[in-house]
């Protein structure tokens, strides 16, 4: 006697919303803080903040800007500016190769985007670092685009807003990258002297190195995201240098707020409302 199977075996449903075990790659994201498994679409709708522990994921530059501006009000500026390999720098690979890879991964030409927009109907000049582009490092292009942002804000008598997210100056551009610290600070000083509008610096994780040592900490208002790392040298480097145990939470946003280094810590989900409140005063 031959037994024949008349019905097919167990079939895996293809709808990931009702059957998560068949979800495509990238459908789920694990929170690095609490370990919760999160649905990517829900995370995005929650401003990329964990629904379980409120951990703030690192967001792209365009995402950060779109979270606070009036819908479709952003007009990007200076997007065609590209850097050059002046020093012919090579480490494990040539500098142009690193640039090309980051450009392909992020879709932008360097680690900073900027433009004009409105927040609560108020015209602003706004910019954001792209940490996923070579760690948000600052080179010649970044320095130029940040300076132009302040120049446009001065010309239009508009507030300036920058989302900071950087590992510091870009080593592949050597002293030319370090010069951007003075350049941006000088342009910002000109803006402050001649314009009665505020510069709001939003410190995200991480804001370090030459960016933290220049325009990031020269704002009229310093707003940090929860638990953001903010400082010049990282805590590991400082600990190794001074050979001492550092205080708990050293260089995190909460530590800086306690010691008077920043003005406030604001959950990303509430940031737009707080910005509108600040801007309305001016």
pLDDT at position 126, please?
98
Among 8-17, 59-68, 233-242, 268-277, the minimum mean pLDDT is found in 8-17
Q: Which residues contact 249 (CB under 8 A, 6 or more apart)?
A: 255
pLDDT band at 233 (very low <50, low <70, confident <90, very high): confident
Task: Compute the distance between CA of residue 235 and CA of residue 240 in angstroms, rounded to an integer.
Answer: 9
Beta strands in the chain (DSSP E): 28-30, 37-39, 75-77, 112-119, 122-129, 160-166, 199-207, 221-224, 264-265
3-state helix, strand, coil in the chain (%, to 5): 40, 20, 40
pLDDT at position 16, please?
53
pLDDT band at 10 (very low <50, low <70, confident <90, very high): low
pTM for this entry: 0.90
Nearest to 161 by CA among 121, 225, 211, 221: 221
Q: How many helices (H) and strands (E) does the chain have?
A: 9, 9
CATH number at 59-280: 3.90.226.10
pLDDT band at 154 (very low <50, low <70, confident <90, very high): very high
Q: Which residues contact 57 (CB under 8 A, 6 or more apart)?
A: 29, 31, 43, 48, 49, 50
pLDDT at position 9, please?
57
Domains of the chain, residue spans? 18-57, 59-280
Contact 169, 214 (CB under 8 A): no
Task: Compute the distance between CA of residue 263 and CA of residue 252 in angstroms, rounded to an integer.
Answer: 14
pLDDT at position 201, please?
98
pLDDT above 60: residue 1:
no
Percent of the chain whose predicted confidence (pLDDT) is above 70 = 92
Task: Compute the distance between CA of residue 166 and CA of residue 169 in angstroms, rounded to an integer.
Answer: 8
């Amino acid at each position: 006697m031959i037994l024949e199977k008349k019905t097919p075996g167990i079939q895996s449903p293809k709808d990931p919303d009702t059957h998560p075990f068949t979800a495509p790659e990238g459908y789920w994201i694990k929170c690095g803080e609490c370990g919760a498994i999160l649905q990517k679409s829900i995370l995005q709708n929650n401003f990329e903040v964990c629904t379980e522990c409120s951990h703030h994921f690192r967001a792209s530059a365009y995402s950060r800007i779109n979270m606070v501006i009036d819908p479709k009000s952003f007009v990007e500026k200076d997007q065609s500016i590209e850097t050059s390999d002046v020093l012919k720098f090579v480490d494990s690979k040539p500098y142009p190769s690193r640039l090309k890879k980051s450009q392909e991964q992020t879709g932008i030409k360097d680690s900073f985007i900027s433009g004009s927009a409105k927040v609560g109907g108020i015209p602003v000049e706004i910019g954001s670092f792209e940490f996923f582009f070579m760690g948000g490092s600052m080179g010649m292009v970044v320095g130029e685009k940040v300076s132009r942002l302040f120049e446009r804000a001065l010309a239009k008598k508009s507030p300036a807003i920058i989302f900071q997210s950087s590992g510091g100056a870009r080593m592949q551009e050597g002293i030319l990258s370090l010069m951007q610290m003075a350049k941006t600070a000088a342009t910002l000083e000109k803006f402050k002297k001649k314009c009665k509008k505020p510069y709001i610096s939003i410190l995200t994780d991480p804001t370090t190195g030459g960016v933290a040592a220049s325009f990031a900490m020269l704002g009229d208002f310093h707003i940090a995201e929860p638990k953001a790392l903010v400082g010049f040298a990282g805590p590991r480097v400082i600990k190794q240098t001074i050979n001492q145990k550092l205080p708990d939470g050293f260089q995190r946003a909460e530590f800086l707020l306690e010691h008077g280094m920043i003005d406030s810590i604001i959950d990303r989900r509430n940031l737009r409302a707080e910005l509108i409140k600040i801007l309305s005063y001016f």
